[in-house]
Amino acid sequence: MISASSNMKKKSYCPYSKFRVGAALLCEDGTIITGCNVENASYGLSICAERTALTKAVSEGHRRFKAIAVASDLKTSFIVPCGACRQFLIEFGADWDVYMTKPDGTFDVKKTGELLPNGFVPESLEEERVSHMA
Ligand SMILES: O=c1ccn([C@H]2C[C@H](O)[C@@H](CO)O2)c(=O)[nH]1
Ligand SMILES: [Zn+2]
């Protein structure tokens, strides 16, 4: 998975930031789905590698994940998912693994729920609410 995420950096479309990111998602059935960041001339529309991998996976029918590995070219820091990706990751559970890697193959690993403590999750929408006028 770590080498798959590192390989995906080659596919990164990042003409603006020049910051290559690759991700490899391990589905519960053993399938590995990869993704890279895809930037846009309208900068804010850029999508991260993690969300690319997740949307690819979900659109292929996968919803249960064991882990995701993320790779960048940063030499001294492990790449960490941005806030938007943390929210996307926790949508599919708070208890699966995020491997944040360096180009030398070393990694830090944290649970999705550790990366987004007190997150707003699907169950949050099921809690009792006060009534309101339409
Ligand atoms: O975990 C991360 C962090 C950043 N990026 C992308 C977004 C943008 O294209 C570039 C610089 O922020 O890196 C990712 O894909 N994943
Ligand atoms: Zn992100």
pLDDT digit string, tens, across residues 37-77? 999 999 999 999 999 999 999 999 999 999 999 999 999 99
pTM of the model: 0.97
Annotated domain spans of the chain: 2-133
Asked if residue 41 belongs to a known ligand binding site, the reply is yes
Q: Are 24 and 53 in contact (CB under 8 A)?
A: yes
DSSP string, 54-102: HHHHHHTT---EEEEEEEES-SSS-----HHHHHHHHTT-SSSEEEEE-
Using CA atoms, how far apart are residues 55 and 51, in angstroms rounded to an integer?
6
CATH assignment of 2-133, among 3.40.190.10, 3.30.1200.10, 3.40.140.10, 3.30.1370.140: 3.40.140.10
From the CA of 37, which ligand is nearest?
1
| Ligand 1 neighbour 19 (Cβ under 6 A) | yes
ipTM score for this prediction: 0.99
